[in-house]
DNA sequence: TCTAAAGCCTATCAAATTACTAAGGATTTT
DNA sequence: AAAATCCTTAGTAATTTGATAGGCTTTAGA
């Protein structure tokens, strides 16, 4: 029941691009270094994001990537769907018996609600809060 | 971002036990046959449920399993936590940078809210609804 | 025009996880 | 004693994950 590094690193890329939106293309190398990630691996993640039309690429020296739209217009759900597939706690909800189907639908809709209502602008804005609150991490 | 067969089949077992609560022990064989699942595989799933104190076992002929508590007192969250681990969309939420940490916490809390407020009684009760509504299955 | 910086593409691979299967032992009831 | 059932350990094929390797193409700027 986890989001893999695909979705997590994909969001990392998109948040970096959102932070520097309007400043011209950002290279993957810069993003990889800033986040201590493998540039090659990020290349594999941004390919589907480009195919899905969420980012645009500029080739050649001083090239890189830019968001295809305003940070306020791209949601975390857009990114997660591209990299992790449809948002659903199980595959084939429709084939489940009614009891469990109902449960999966409730979970799916709850996740969907969060992901589709959180934009890159939201995420990029409070990227340097301190440790805001005493959260319980294991529940 | 999926709940595996562990959690799914585990819930299947628990819902069956909830449906027949008060009717004496139910054998895994009966549950396996009713749901067309491997009895051996279910044995591996019910072991942690027993260790966690969610079910009690009665050995020997005409033995089986019973819920350790009322169906209204056991939630889907109890079952999923035992079989899938802590409810969280990523591991190590605390190590994430604030932007993503906030997102994961929102998702986690949304899932937690559903799972902890859905009891086996809820699930067992509408196990034979028709196809109640026109749901959208891929979102 | 050359060169370095960058994107683009394909293949390969080790580790982990998932979803079982196999085999048999232990316990209790009829 | 026989049958039913729980209990435990081990193995394994398929899939996914998280990379690594290497080379090709495009472009800005010296």
Note the pLDDT tens digit of each residue in B47-103: 999 999 999 999 999 999 999 999 999 999 999 999 999 999 998 888 888 888 989
Structure tokens at B97: 């940078």
Question: Is the CB of residue B24 less than 8 Å away from at least one CB of chain A?
Answer: no
pLDDT at residue B131 greater than cutoff 90 = no
Contacts of A124 in chain B (CB under 8 A): 99
Q: Is A37 domain-assigned? A: yes
Encode burial over A59-86: b for 16+ CB neighbours within 10 A, e otherwise.
eeeeebbbbbeebeebbbbbbbbbbbee
Note the pLDDT tens digit of each residue in A34-51: 999 999 999 999 999 999
The pLDDT score that the predictor gives to residue B136 is 44
Q: Which domain holds residue B43?
A: 5-125
- Domain of B51, CATH number, reads 1.10.10.10
Question: Is the CB of residue A30 less than 8 Å away from at least one CB of chain B?
Answer: no
Q: Is B26 domain-assigned? A: yes
Q: State the sign of the Cα–Cα–Cα–Cα dihedral A43, A44, A45, A46.
A: positive
Q: Is B29 domain-assigned? A: yes
Q: Is A64 domain-assigned? A: yes
Note the pLDDT tens digit of each residue in B95-125: 888 888 989 999 999 999 999 999 999 999 9
Question: What's the number of domains chain B is made of?
Answer: 1
Note the pLDDT tens digit of each residue in A112-127: 999 999 999 999 996 5
pLDDT at residue A129 greater than cutoff 70 = no
The alpha-carbon gap from B60 to the nearest alpha carbon of chain A, in Å, equals 31
Q: Is A44 domain-assigned? A: yes
What is the SS3 assignment for A8? Answer: helix
The alpha-carbon gap from A17 to the nearest alpha carbon of chain B, in Å, equals 14
Q: Is A18 domain-assigned? A: yes
Q: Determine the distance between B5 (CA) and D7 (C1') in angstroms.
A: 21
Residue A10 backbone dihedrals phi, psi, to 5 degrees? -60, -45
Cβ under 8 Å to B: A residues 97-126 = 97-100, 102-103, 105-108, 110-115, 118, 123-124, 126
The pLDDT score that the predictor gives to residue A2 is 87
Q: Is A54 domain-assigned? A: yes
Of the two residues B40 and B1, the one the predictor is more confident about is B40
Give the pLDDT band of residue A133 (cuts 50, 70, 90): very low
Q: Is B134 domain-assigned? A: no
């Amino acid at each position: 029941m986890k989001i893999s590094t695909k979705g997590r690193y994909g969001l990392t890329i998109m948040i970096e691009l959102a932070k520097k939106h309007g400043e011209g293309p950002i290279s993957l190398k810069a993003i990889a270094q800033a986040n201590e990630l493998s540039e090659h691996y990020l290349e594999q993640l941004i390919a589907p994001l480009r195919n899905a039309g969420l980012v645009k690429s500029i080739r050649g020296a001083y090239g890189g990537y830019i968001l295809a739209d305003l940070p306020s217009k791209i949601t975390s759900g857009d990114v997660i769907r591209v990299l992790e597939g449809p948002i659903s706690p199980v595959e084939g909800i429709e084939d489940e018996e009614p009891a469990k189907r109902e449960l999966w639908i409730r979970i799916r809709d709850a996740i969907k609600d969060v992901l589709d209502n959180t934009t890159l602008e939201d995420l990029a804005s409070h990227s340097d809060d301190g440790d805001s609150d005493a959260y319980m991490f294991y529940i």
